[in-house]
Amino acid sequence: MQWNLEWLRTFRAIYETGTLSSAAKELFISQPGVSLHLNSLEAYAGYKLFDRSPRKVVPTEKGKILYNFILQPLQKLESAEQYFHRRSKPERATISIGMCFETFQYTLEEHVASLPFNLIIKFGLYPQMQADLENGLLDMIITPQKGNQSNLIYRPFSKERIVLIAGSKTDTSELKSLLENGDVLGVKDFLKQQLWYSTAGDMEHLKNFWSKNFNEHPDFSPNYIVPNISSIIRCLSNNDGFSIVPDFLCQEALEVGKIKLVWEGNIPWENTLYFGTRKNTIYHNELAELKKLFEEKWEREMA
């Protein structure tokens, strides 16, 4: 573990404001983020820096000593920051966003070079993205899953439909006949005998689609596990095999005939996509610009 300057900034804010919530407002991060910084600093130092009470925190003797040690150096660093900031170009904001790899490729990748601010993209699982957003490590997430964190806001902006696709060389005539006859068991048995593509991170698509249409979990493993859904589309293009994917990610391949839409399920399954942000942020303009790019992309595709 290494000493982190942000821990000291947070410690100073807690010391001077007297509460974690007031420190969070001053620093424009979440209260869990403040707690995370303080816990990390106390773990590094090896002793408590504050005694907690329901309404305020009181510095311990070690906390008072640390504050006296760091106050002047932090003030000098802040003065240096302001001094050189006035003599340089305006600092570009840095925005951190969490989303799946395919959403980034589909929506944002083409616009990155023209953005008037720095951008950090993080890929990962949605629960971890939500935790990082709450703790101030991310400024926005694109997610089909809503959390119940009190300091986060989820605003819907589009939908994705989860569908069964196949490569263009896949013989689906028997499957179409089974579907037209309403033979659910026959459809299930047929699909279990086919070649399947999936990703390690998106097995939930296959599991949920199978459960919704056949009332059971799939009792087979995909033949090919590839890095992401874009890889699935490329592997299936002009080839043989099946996969379960969000419809918006395969529109282009469908339009040119590289793959084909086979089945949307007995009842079409849709996920709502949300912008997830913290209630308090200093990046309103930057996030509004990013949201506009996403909304315009989906509006064009839906037209």
One domain, residues 259 and 176? yes
Q: Round to whole Å and give the CA distance between 164 and 138.
A: 33
**Does residue 84 register a pLDDT over 80?**
no
One domain, residues 173 and 294? no
One domain, residues 136 and 283? yes
DSSP state at residue 105:
I
- Phi and psi for 89 in degrees, rounded to 5? -65, 155
pLDDT, tens only, 39-80: 888 888 888 999 988 778 899 999 898 889 888 888 888 777
Mean pLDDT of 181-209: 89
- CATH number (domain holding residue 139): 3.40.190.10
Q: Round to whole Å and give the CA distance between 96 and 7.
A: 19
Q: Residue 136 — very low, low, confident or very high, per pLDDT cuts 50/70/90? A: confident
| Structure-block tokens of residue 265 | 């399920």
**Does residue 2 register a pLDDT over 90?**
no
Name the average pLDDT for the chain. 88
| Structure-block tokens of residue 300 | 């064009």
Q: Round to whole Å and give the CA distance between 204 and 191.
A: 17
| % of the chain at pLDDT higher than 70 | 94
141-150, 187-196, 198-207: range with lowest mean pLDDT: 198-207
Residue 233's pLDDT is 93
- 277: domain range? 94-158+271-302
Distance of CA 164 to the CA centre of its chain: 24
Q: Residue 86 — very low, low, confident or very high, per pLDDT cuts 50/70/90? A: low
Name which of 229, 228, 201, 206 is nearest 219 in CA terms: 206
Residue 221's pLDDT is 87
One domain, residues 245 and 286? no
Q: Round to whole Å and give the CA distance between 211 and 102.
A: 24
One domain, residues 291 and 245? no
Say what the alpha-carbon torsion angle 3, 8, 11, 17 is, to the nearest 10 degrees: -170
One domain, residues 13 and 79? yes
Mean pLDDT of 173-183: 94
Residue 112's pLDDT is 92
C-alpha separations of 131 from 138, 199, 212 in Å = 9, 23, 29
**Does residue 303 register a pLDDT over 60?**
no
Q: Which residues pair with 162 in a beta bridge?
A: 246, 269
Query: How many domains in the chain?
Result: 3
Q: Round to whole Å and give the CA distance between 19 and 145.
A: 31
Residue 243's pLDDT is 96
One domain, residues 170 and 262? yes
Residue 93's pLDDT is 86
